[in-house]
Amino acid sequence: MIRATLIQALQMALVLLLAPGLVGLVRAVKARLMRRRGPPVIQPYRALRRLLAKEAVIADNASWLFRTAPYLILALTWAAASVVPTFSTDLAFARLGDLIVITALLGAARFLLALAGLDIGTSFGGIGASREVFFASFAEPAMLMIVVTLAILAGSTELTSIAAFMLSPAAGLRVSAALALVSLVIVALAENGRIPVDNPATHLELTMVHEAMVLEYSARHLAMIELAAALQLLLMISVIACIFFPFGLGSGVLLGLAAWLAKLGAAGVLLGIFEVSIAKMRVFRVPELIGGALMLGLLGTLLLYVSRGL
Amino acid sequence: MILSALLAGILILVVLGLAGAIDAVRAPGGAPRGAAGQGAWLYAAAASITGVSALLSLASLAAPPETLVLPLGLPWIGWHFRLDALSAFFLFVVDLGAASASVFAIGYGRARHGGHADEPGRVLPFYPVFLAGLGLVVLADDAFSFLFAWELMSLASWALVLVRHRDPESVRAGTVYLLMAVLSGFLLLLCFGLLAGPAGSYGFAAMRAAHPAAATVALALVLALLGTGAKAGLVPLHAWLPLAHPAAPSHVSALMSGVMTKVAVYAFLRIAFDLIGPPSAWSGLVVLAVGGLTAVLGVLYALMQHDLKRLLAYHTVENIGIIFIGIGLAMVFRAGGEGAAAALALTAALFHVFNHAVFKSLLFFGSGAVEAATGERDMECQGGLIHRMRTTSFCFLIGCAAISALPPLNGFVSEWLTFQAILLGPALPDWGPKLLIPADGALLALAAALAAACFVKAFGITFLGRPRSAAAAVAAETDRLALAPMLLLSGLCLFAGVFPGAVIDALAPVSRALVGATMPVQGLLPWHSPPGVPLGAIVPVAAARSSYDGLAILLLIGAVTTLAALGARRLASHALRRAPAWDCGFPDQSPATQYTAQSFAEPIRRTFGPLVFGVASTIRVPPPGSTAPARIEHVLHDRLWEIFYAPPAALVRRLADALNPLQFLTIRRYLAFVFAALVLLLLVLALTP
């Protein structure tokens, strides 16, 4: 019990501390591949410190929702991240919720962010909110189809049980798991607003989605939202790692920690390479991509039945 | 004993209806017609009766069934009443909705544009009778009293839909509603006729004991699904619902959407699980398919609306779909011999029945408060109400979050339970359910995600942003008595989400009565939970390795939010400055540049439009040099209306035209018709053995 609590506390501190670094890593990789020198990996930490020190400027007609939303968004993302086994499955909160709860917590954060985007009553806030919920209405069903596939495979929707199953020899190599992996990667790209769905680096008005929603935020509020976005990226990578690459999760804390850091680093580099090698999609082509993920999820489920049935 | 008390309450409600009629007629003598607060005594009386009745039914949830026969109604048959776990649960839902709607109505009546406007005589007599009808349906124990109560409920609510009887749209809504109500009653009549068999035993006890042939059962089940589905709003029988629910005053809309649709769910459960006996697998599959389609189409139609109350009404269709997915799962699992899974699916459906009654009433109250404050139901005329209607907006936000299935509120729990039931689908041996259940899971997930989009729109456009009309800019908070039930229902949303174990345990007798199994005992609080179950988490089935702990999630979110806020307080600057909106450097003064309800849903309309609505868009660009604005016009076709409603309507019209000459015949011709009919009937009688 005490050990699980300690590991839980360590994990909650680590995810928060490492998240900006992961974003910095992706940016550094992208810059290198574009033959720029780019900012150092620790730049996001500096940005957060600078934002925290600034005076907050909010619009005249901002409501209480606008001011409380950043804290709640960070908290919901953080709560979701606390349930994901990152370097150890021995978490005190592991049984608080399953993969559906994690999806729903992230959904709640997105709900608040979209409302905050609408609060000031500017057209950019509206465009961001409208597109965000539009993408989410495809990404969430895709995520749940992945959950169905995994639940049939592992007999549980809880990440610790799924990771334990994937580590066991019973897992083997499965087509359905591969389809679920592709689908989950697409969903993760969409939920984090990465290329090809959204471009986190853009400030060109009509292509913004996430950035358009948070346009009115400044200083500490913006810092909370940036941190939450970084945390969500780390969370989705950890979920993918926990389900499909659970190496090191079952063995001791130190080994698990090393494995997790290596996985995060590899994922950050891969994400950087992927983002520079692909262009952003038109908004109305995105449903085809995420709809494809949904279909892959369904296909994975059906294949599983066929393979079980034979 | 409790049953007699409940029936006495219903009788008082009927008497109240008569008193309401007298009051409405008498009014011109004293206070001016429609004066603020007229009928408040009636609503107060209705609220206290239904409140007591709600407590009584809650108390009798776990009690053994109680029956009562009154020597009224048809001779030799009498009126049979029965209070068992299923009726007690639904009566609780009905009375909870009725009590809060009655309290809301007192405050709503005092508000500026609210209440029953200048037509108290069209609301006061019918409102208590409507409540009485709702209660009687749930307690009826024979086909006659059931159908009588069913029609009483339909007719009273029809009268309430026609409150604004000078508005042609209300009249159309009333006509469509009446037709569908008649259809529904007619189908149920046929269904009971089949179940009663040739002996004509119309008591439910006799139907329970009888074992009709398989074909009869199948036909009766289809009739029951159509008959109750027409009342509940299953696609494609939903067309009346978004017309009729918004037309009534808001407290009645809340009852129709939150409660009357649940009574239809009750009727289906009563017939399909109790009267017919163990359901067959194919019927469960039909219910599953209809439920999945209803959920997705309902929310897609809801997303296209910009009338707040119509949006909520369409959204009721979606929730009915979710409930029927749960019921369909329960039927499939029951037929497959999976008792625990059936109990889980049924509990999920019943949990959603309770949840939807709570949050849909709450949202309709909120929309009523908005309408009372600004005189408009159109979302395009609202905006910025969060600054002027603080409590209403907070309650509405809770309702929106709950209905969008966000943790830690109640909507999430029932959808989570439904998902856990879907995940048990692979345990079934047959291929039909095996393939259909995951597809239904995808539909349910799509509906849930679209619901979140729908309620971001509903709250964001109505309460956030800048005021889009002069009325919205000066709107004032609604009456305190109207706020009280909203606060109560918001509290219930939170309670059921945080202590789902309490609700699940309360539902156990219902589940035992209908599917013969229950979910594992959950316990209210951590220290109540049985061994093996961690903390206060709920577990769907004993063997499952999944759990959800609402209380711990709430505490975790609370603790982490406090941590984030404290951290920011300690590390960050406290300075705060108000300034004009930034908007990328080009803030526009006109509120017309904000996103509107329609533009918010535009991407979704564009994606699903061609498939579901058959959207036709025309863009008209003025000729060069002209200063006229460019216009874009969308025409949304209601495909379902065109397929299922327009052809019968056209047929009826053609037949009516063809038969029109029959109205102008001589008396000899009519007598000839009567004679011919008599001869024909005698021939039929003579020829049939």
The string of DSSP letters for A27-59 reads HHHHHHHTT-----TTHHHHHHHHHHHSPEEEE
> Residue B537: pLDDT band by 50, 70, 90 thresholds?
low
pTM, two decimal places: 0.92
**pLDDT (tens digit per residue) in A70-124:** 999 999 999 999 888 888 887 877 777 788 899 999 999 999 999 999 998 888 8
**pLDDT (tens digit per residue) in B95-152:** 999 999 999 988 887 766 655 556 777 888 888 999 999 999 999 988 888 999 999 9
A135: nearest Cα among A285, A249, A295: A285
Question: Pairing mode, if any, of strands B66-70 and B616-620?
Answer: unpaired
Average pLDDT, chain A: 87
Strands of chain A (E only): list them. 56-59
Helix (H, G, I), strand (E, B) or coil at A310: coil
Q: What is the pLDDT of residue B429?
A: 78
Per mean pLDDT, which of A302-306, B475-479, B505-509, B537-541 is the most reliable? B505-509
Percentage of residues of chain B with pLDDT beyond 90: 36
Q: Shortest CB distance from B584 goes to which of A130, A205, A309?
A: A205
Contact at 8 Å (CB) between B621 and B630? yes
B245: nearest Cα among B103, B335, B367: B367
- Cα B132 to Cα B12, B14, B138, B151, B253, distances in angstroms: 9, 6, 10, 12, 16
B577: nearest Cα among A125, A221, A119: A221
B479: nearest Cα among B359, B363, B372, B367: B372
A-interface mutation test, from B561, B593, B611, most A Cβ less than 10 A away = B561
Element (H or E) spanning B79, and its range? Answer: strand B79-83
How close, in Å, is residue A178 to chain B by CA atoms? 19
Contact at 8 Å (CB) between B472 and B384? yes
How close, in Å, is residue B296 to chain A by CA atoms? 12
- 3-class secondary structure per residue, A9-20: HHHHHHHHHHHH
Contact at 8 Å (CB) between B538 and B524? no
Q: How many domains does chain A have?
A: 1
Q: Under 8 Å CB-to-CB from B584, ≥6 apart: which residues?
A: A124, A205, A215
B-interface mutation test, from A48, A66, A122, A205, most B Cβ less than 10 A away = A122
| Count of positions (residues) in chain A | 310
User: Would the CB atoms of A56 and B534 count as touching at under 8 Å?
Assistant: no
Residue B528: how many CB atoms within 10 A of its CB? 14
**pLDDT (tens digit per residue) in B466-498:** 898 888 888 888 888 889 999 999 999 999 998
A256 or B264, which is more confident? B264
Residues A20 and B176: their CA atoms lie apart, in Å, by 58
> Residue B542: pLDDT band by 50, 70, 90 thresholds?
low
Q: What is the pLDDT of residue B35?
A: 53
φ, ψ dihedrals at B197, nearest 5°:
75, 180
Element (H or E) spanning B88, and its range? Answer: helix B85-110
**A51 → chain B, closest CA residue:** B572
Contact at 8 Å (CB) between B515 and B343? yes
Contacts of B412 in chain A (CB under 8 A): 104
CB proximity under 8 Å: B 565-594 to A: 565, 568, 571-573, 575-584, 587-588, 591, 593-594
Contact at 8 Å (CB) between B546 and A156? yes
Element (H or E) spanning B616, and its range? Answer: strand B616-620
Q: Shortest CB distance from A57 goes to which of B416, B464, B579?
A: B579
Q: Shortest CB distance from B446 goes to which of A57, A141, A148?
A: A141
Contact at 8 Å (CB) between B182 and B147? no
> Residue B525: pLDDT band by 50, 70, 90 thresholds?
very low
Cis peptide before B587 (omega within 30 of 0): no
Q: Does B33 have pLDDT greater than 50?
A: no
Which residues constitute the domain of residue A137?
2-309
Residues B655 and B390: their CA atoms lie apart, in Å, by 56
Q: Which amino acid is at B669?
A: R
Q: What is the pLDDT of residue B518?
A: 81
Strands of B162-282 (E only): list them. none
User: Would the CB atoms of A55 and B588 count as touching at under 8 Å?
Assistant: no
φ, ψ dihedrals at B496, nearest 5°:
-65, -25
Residues B502 and B506: their CA atoms lie apart, in Å, by 6
Q: Under 8 Å CB-to-CB from B314, ≥6 apart: which residues?
A: B241, B242, B298, B299, B301, B302, B305
Q: What is the pLDDT of residue B114?
A: 59
User: Would the CB atoms of A157 and B420 count as touching at under 8 Å?
Assistant: yes
Torsion angle in degrees (nearest 10) through CA of B412, B413, B417, B418 = -40
Q: What is the pLDDT of residue B115?
A: 57
Q: What is the pLDDT of residue B201?
A: 80
Q: What is the pLDDT of residue B613?
A: 77
Any chain A CB within 8 A of the CB of B611? no
Any chain A CB within 8 A of the CB of B460? yes
φ, ψ dihedrals at A59, nearest 5°:
-65, 155
Contact at 8 Å (CB) between B327 and B269? yes
Question: Pairing mode, if any, of strands B616-620 and B631-635?
Answer: antiparallel
Segment B29-51 shows an average pLDDT of 72
A-interface mutation test, from B325, B396, B417, B584, most A Cβ less than 10 A away = B584
Contacts of A108 in chain B (CB under 8 A): 401, 406-407
Helix (H, G, I), strand (E, B) or coil at B250: helix
ipTM summary value: 0.94
Would you state the structure tokens that stand for residue B618, as one six-digit string?
């025309």
A65: nearest Cα among A118, A129, A128: A118
Residues B292 and B295: their CA atoms lie apart, in Å, by 5
Contact at 8 Å (CB) between B269 and B86? yes
A290: nearest Cα among A167, A156, A205, A183: A183
Residues B339 and B278: their CA atoms lie apart, in Å, by 12
Sign (positive/negative) of CA torsion B537, B540, B545, B547? negative
- 3-class secondary structure per residue, B552-577: HHHHHHHHHHHHHHHHHHHHCCCCEE
DSSP state of B628: S
